[in-house]
Every structure is written in C-alpha cells, then in structure tokens.
Amino acid sequence: MDEKGLEKVPPATKNSLIRRVSYLLTGLPPNPKEVKNFLLDTSSVSYEKMVDRYLNSPAYGERWARHWMDLVRYAETKGHEFDYAITGAWKYRDYLIRAFNEDVPYDQFLKEHIAGDLLQTTRENKETGVSESRLGTTFYVMGEGTHSPVDVRQDEADRIDNMIDVTTKTFQGLTVSCAKCHDHKFDPITAADYYALYGVMESTRFSPVPADLSKDKKLAAQEIENLNSYMRKLVAGKWDRAKNSYINTEYAQNTTINTSAMSYTVIGDFRGRDFDGWTSDGFAFGQKSTLGNPIVDPATGKLLGLDEGKASSRSMGMGIFGALRSPNFILEKDFIGVRALGKNSSIRIIIDNFQLIQNPIYGGMDQRVNTEEWNNFIFNVRAWKGRKAYIEILPGTHDRHRYNLTEDAFIEAQYAVTYDGEWPLDLEKNITKQPSQDNWASLEISPFKVIRINDDLKKGKLTSNFPELKAVVDSSRLLAKSLKNVSFVNGIYDGYGINSPIFNRGNYKEPSEEHVPRRFLSVLSLGDSVFKSEGSGRLELAEVMLDKDNPLTSRVMVNRIWHHLFGKGIVETVDNFGLQGKLPSHPELLDYLAVKFQQEGWSVKKLIRAIVTSETFKRSDALANTDPNNIYLASFPVRRLEAEAIRDGILAVSESLDSTMYGTPVPTHLTAFMQGRGRPGKSGPIDGEGRRSIYLEVRRNFLEPMMTTFDRPIPFSTFGRRNVTNVPSQSLILMNDPLVAQQAEIMAGKLMEKGLANFEEKVQWIYMQAFSRLASREELKKASNFFGMLQEMEEKMDGKEKPEMELWKEYCHSIFNLKEFIYLI
C-alpha cells in the first residue's frame, strides 16, 4: 500500500462490522438483540467475542457447507430426461454441516472425500455412533446421469471425466481434464497423468451404501461370525472320533473341468469354502460361503445338518444389506447365467460401470429374484460383446433407481457362468474349485464330505443332540436384528484395480497399447509413485495430495476461504492455479496462511478467525481511486450477498425463519412455467416451510428461480467462484416474487403486533431488523414522504384510505428492494 500510495481507511462502524461478520460467517443477519449487546460491550475484546459467537453458531456450518456444495456440484437428482433422484444426497449435505461446525481438520475432511470408505479408522458421529467418514465419498455420485445412453462406454468416459474434473479442481485447483485429449496446452500435466487418474476412477464402483453404518454394527457382525465359528468347533469336537471315516471321501470324478474346451466359462463358484475371488461388501454375505455351517432347529437346538456351499445373504439374517460382486471380465459369450433363489432381491449385470439400468435398452440387465427353488437366471448380453462388465448379486431391488430393502429380502447363489448355446447342465454336478486342505476342527471340509456327513446324520450315525447350540442361535438372531439397515445413500465401493490405456484424442475407441499405472500427477510430489493397492488406489491418492511437499492442497483451501471472506481470492481464479489462472496478488501472504493452516492442525475455524480479526477485514468500504479494483484492500470491498443469504435474510428479518437443522429436503415450489419430464407430482410451499435455503431441494431439471437468478451455479462442475451479475431479472424477483411479497406482509404483521407508539419507532424497528442500524433523520423523512405518496395513490385509485397494515407491507417490500439489503458494506 505504501508503494501504491494508498492510505488505509478507518475501521467500519460496529453496526457494519457485526452485520458483515454475521453474514459472512453464518449467512444470516444479526438479530437486533445481538447488535445491541455488541454496541453495549465496550471491552477491548468485544469484537473477538462477537466473532467467536458466530463461529460457534450452528448456522456457521450451514453457511460454509453451502460454499463447499458449489465445488462438488451438489444436487438431489441426476437431470437428463427423468431427473432421477440421487438417494440420500441430503445426508451428504448434513455431513458437511456437521463437519464444518465440528471443525473437522481439513486433511481428515479431504481423506473422507477421496477415500472415506477405505479408512482403517473412521470418524463417528458423537451422538449416533454412525460413521461420518463414509458419507464424504458421496460427492463422487453427484454428477449428472444419462437415461439409457446408446453407448455406455462413452457415458462412462464422460462420467469419469467429470469426476476427475471436480476432484482435481476442488482439491488441487488444477484443470486436469484439459489433458483428456492431449497433453495440457498450458500446464505441465500430461495425458498419461489424466489416464492414471482415469484408472483410479474406473476402479471405483457405484452402489447403495447403508447410511447408518456404525462401530456397533461392525462389532455385532464380528460377534455373529465368532458365534458361528464357535458352533462349528463345538460340533466338530463332538464328532471328533468319526472324522477318520471321512478322510478317504473321494471328490466327484470330473472335479477338474477343462472349461477352455467347452462352450462356457465359470465366473464364480460359491459351493466351495470361499467366494472364488468375488468381493463381498456390507454384512449380508459375510466373507465366505456357507459350506459347513451348522443348521440348527432354533426351538430345540437339534442339529439338522451342515450347510452345503453357497453364497447366502441370510448367513447373518434377512433384510441385511450386502452385495456380492465379481471381478471385471470382458463379455465374450452370448449369455450370463446365475443359479440362485431368494425373495425381493436382484441380480444385475453392470456393463462399463453403468448403474442406471432401465428399459428400453438395459432393462434386461436387472432381474428380480422371487423364488424359493433353485432357478437359472439368464441374461442375454450378445449386444454388448467386447464390453467390460461385472455381476452384482444383492438382497433388495431398485425401483426407478431407488434402492429398497425389505425385511424379508434375501438371496442365495451357487455359481455364475457365461456361455454360448444351452445352459451347461454338467456344471451342476461338478464344482470347479476344491479346497486345498481340510481343517476338521473348524469344519472347513470339502463339499463332498459335507454331503456324506449329512447323509450319515439322517441315518443316525452321528449325534444331532446339541442343546447348547440353542442359546448360541438365539444370541446370533438377536445380534442380527441390529444389523438391519433403514436408510441408504447412493455411494461407492472399491472395485478391482484397472490401469487405463491413453485414449487417442480422448476417443475410447482408439486406446494405446500400453496401460498407464494408477498414480498422481507427475509434476507434483510423489506423482511418479505407482499406487500399489489391488483396488482403486483412492486412499493412496488422498495421501499424496496431503504430502508435505505438495504445494497445492493447503494453498487452494486457504485461497477459497479468503475468497469467501473478501469476495475475491488472493488467486482470483480460485479453481485454476495453473498458467491460465491469475497470479496471486499477495504471494507471500498466501504462503504464510497456507503454512499457518497446516501448523494449526488444518483448522478452518482458526484460519477464518485469524482473517476476520485482522485490521484489513475490519476496514470500512471507502474505495480508493488509485486502486479501483481494491486489490490491495485499503478498504473492505463492497459485495453483493449470495442467493441463499438474500432469501434467508428476508426470512430472518420477517422473523419467519425456521432454524431447524438437517433432514430431508423441502420439495421445490413449482411455478406454472416449470414443466417437463421428471416434474414432481406435488409442489412445495412458497416459503419452503421457512427453512434455510440449504435445505431446499436441488432438482437439476427444476432449479429454484430465485437461486438461479441470483447466480447460484447450475450443478454440473466445480464453481469455487460464483458469477456476480447485476441484471433486471434480479430487481423483478425482489419486486414481484410471491415469496418476497408474502414475507413483506408477515413482517408488517409482526410490526403491528409490537404496539410501537409512533411512526418513527416503527421505521427504526424495520431498519434495525433489515440493516442492523437505526435510520438517519433523512431516512425517516423519506419514509414519511413514501407513506404520504402511497396514501395519495390509493385515494386516487380507490377513493378511500388504505389500511395501515397495507401501507407498512408496501414499505417493508420497498426495504427488501434497497441495495443495502442485498449488499455488504
């Protein structure tokens, strides 16, 4: 400032400061009582106390969560033709609010977003015990979705491109997606870097995820496993003397099937001890097949037999979530078959990671299972030969892409096969995978020994009297009840590691011969370290982003915080720190704050407090002519409030705001002009039930007009910096929108209830509500003139005096239209 000949302007008034701090930290105006208390507090720390009060307000989390939602293109529907719902999106919104209010360290916050499902130690909700970390990954599924794309491979490429774009812009401030078709034209980011990250995203699978997963549930599932193991050992112990009679039990004659010479390939055989290389997610299937599990009469404890091998989602109990998923394979034969039985359950063929399975093109790839007898479920995949696919077996069904899990849902499967021609009948008699060695002590024995034991048990050659098992079964059933899931979110699970080729000019039909190992950006710290994970490598990605030598992670977040407080980042292009972005106005300041951020435990609240309590932040708004863009902040920049703050401010000053936090979104209020496919059958209320704007539904095909008019971004990619326009439609909204008129009337009604003695007191009450200050003598005079003009107009039109209430309604409405109401000074 000395070099530029700039003089610091004096601090703003206390009225301006509290309004500024309140709006920037909570998105709401201060109430008159808070203003009064601040004005009366003459202590040297009155300002710091006021800042701390707003930092610790629940509304703080709502304000800063909404900033973050701009980065991850938050929406509750997929858009495109039918605007399908993103199940449980609002749970991610609530997760954000809690995370900001609890000041979760940013490094932890980043890990939860990139790999919250892979963390060894998860962060639990202090009140409910539910895992918070898992919810962070929901941001991956917030992208737009296409209904029945003709080319699912192209659709996958588009979705992965969006995931890479959002992830790298949000956390690294880099436009990595520019390297999709060729090496980045401006930044040192190669096409190989892009496709290294492409492999990370391609190895991630979309799935329903229980929203109520907790440490207690994990412990209950482990206890059921322990009880099951105890039962096996108990039975094996009593049968110990008989074990030698089964040693020479022969396997079936054709145990080694030469499938290469046949017209089928076994994708998975669950009749052995394990799942044959498939992944079991959730609790339902456990981590191994049912082979050798004791089947007990719950009433008597009598042993009815040993379970023959299969994958069973009721190994823990019915109505419990879990999914059994195959490794990826290439569709080379005409049919996929799964031998299964169950109730209210599904078998799905996921082609190129495409989950929005729906007619007219893909409806046959999702078959419902409702049969108590073993049945062959057949999928004709001839049209997709050459595509990558995997099989998903899960209890529950999808209805218009909403996942439903009933209490009686379960599914069991013996094997999955891909074949040409007729169903391979010989497979039913032959098990393709045999256990290498028996372990009698835990009943880990071959399927053929199990068959012989069951036969001997029926003949009375083995004891079936195990009364002690009854208590074990009862305990297991009781524990299983706690595993039932009642709510879900669209989320992710880790898949099998895929290294992607480079697509020539971004065209997946022209892949390179070599595949790029999954890793980070080569120009950054540890960018050449290949991810060793057998899965996606997302946890390693999070760790390299947080490496101490990576200059971007801390700088980018610090710059975002500065941007939200001053309306402009130290780097003005907050989503682009590359060569096409702007240079920092204060590079040393950016570095200082980035280091401070890390040294103070990545605390967002501490950084905000440091900035907000600075002399720079407290300056008034008198702009210097020698720095018209106020780059050097000799004064505080005048700035317009965001869409949500304007709407919430209107509700707050009319005392209509419902401060209830969290929960399902309030349905969008539909005007007559909001038409099209996916239109909800019922409209929400005009005032959104008085809830804050963050709780209003965000439907991609039916975006709220007021939010869009005041520049809330359309959710398709990262928008760290909103446009700030000044267009006639904004004035028209404030003059004509039914919500604004409704709230002006409510505010006038509240005014009349106050019983204030005279005109001046009423105007002063309105000014304190709306502007956190009292009106000047000139403003009082203008108010009086305005009233006189209104009365004169009404008398000319109606020939009679208008009721006082109507006049105050018009006056309150005019207040909402003043620039001071929608600007911070």
The per-residue DSSP string of 656-707 comes to: --B---SSSPBPPPPPTT--STT--SSPPPTTGGGB-GGGB--BTTB--HHH
H helix or E strand, kind and range, residue 414: strand 410-419
- Binned average pLDDT, 10 residues per bin, the chain of 825 residues: 88 96 98 96 96 98 98 95 93 97 98 96 90 95 92 95 97 96 94 97 95 88 91 87 75 47 85 92 92 87 89 91 96 96 96 90 94 96 94 94 93 96 86 72 86 88 86 89 88 96 95 96 94 96 96 97 97 96 96 97 98 96 79 92 97 97 96 89 94 97 95 96 94 96 96 90 96 96 92 74 86 96 92
Q: Residues with Cβ < 8 Å from 402, sequence gap 6 or more?
A: 85, 87
HSE-CB for 159 with a 13 A CA cutoff: 28
> Quick one: CA torsion of 674, 676, 679, 681, rounded to 10 degrees?
90
- 815's tokens: 């207040």
Other Cβ atoms less than 10 A from the Cβ of 44: the count is 7
Q: How many CB atoms lie within 10 A of CB 237?
A: 10
Structure token pair of residue 18? 């509290």
**Contact between residue 99 and residue 109 where contact means Cβ atoms under 8 Å apart:** yes
Q: What is the 3-state secondary structure (H, E, C) of 22-44?
A: HHHHHCCCCCHHHHHHHHHCCCC
Instruction: Please identify which residue in the block is written with the tokens 């609240």.
Output: 605
State the Rg of the chain over Cα.
32
How many Cβ atoms from other residues are within 10 Å of residue 824's Cβ? 19
Tell me the C-alpha distance between 440 and 244, whole Å.
10
Residue of 546, 484, 406, 462 whose CA lies nearest to 109 = 546
> CA 657, CA 739: separation in Å to the nearest integer?
13
Helix (H) or strand (E) holding 792: helix 777-798
Query: Of 177, 204, 191, whose CA–CA distance to 113 is shortest?
Result: 204
pLDDT score of 434: 63
* pLDDT for res 250: 60
Q: Can you tell me the distance from the alpha carbon of 237 to that of 306, in angstroms, rounded to the nearest whole number? A: 14
Contact of 486 with 325, CB cutoff 8 Å: no
C-beta neighbour count of 816 within 10 angstroms: 22
* b/e map 249-279, b = 16+ CB within 10 Å: eeeeeeeebeeeeeebbbbbbbbbbbbbebb
Write phi, then psi, for 71 (nearest 5 degrees). -75, -35
Instruction: Report how far residue 724's alpha carbon sits from residue 171's, in angstroms, rounded to the nearest whole number.
Output: 23
Sort strands 397-399 and 402-404 into parallel, antiparallel or unpaired: antiparallel
Helix axes 604-612, 46-55, angle to 10 degrees: 150
pLDDT at 485: 80
State the Cα–Cα distance between residues 526 and 547, nearest whole angstrom. 8
Between strands 322-325 and 279-282, the pairing is antiparallel
Q: Which two tokens stand for residue 710?
A: 């005041």
Q: Which of 425, 413, 369, 421 is nearest to 269 (CA)?
A: 413
- d(Cα 756, Cα 775) in Å, to the nearest integer? 16
Length of the chain: 825
Question: How many C-beta neighbours within 10 Å does residue 110 have?
Answer: 21
Which residues on neighbouring strands pair with residue 403, listed in sequence order? Answer: 398
SS3 312: strand
How many angstroms separate the CA atoms of 231 and 305, rounded?
12
From the list 753, 562, 722, 557, the residue with the least C-alpha distance to 643 is 722
Strands 264-269 and 402-404 come out as unpaired
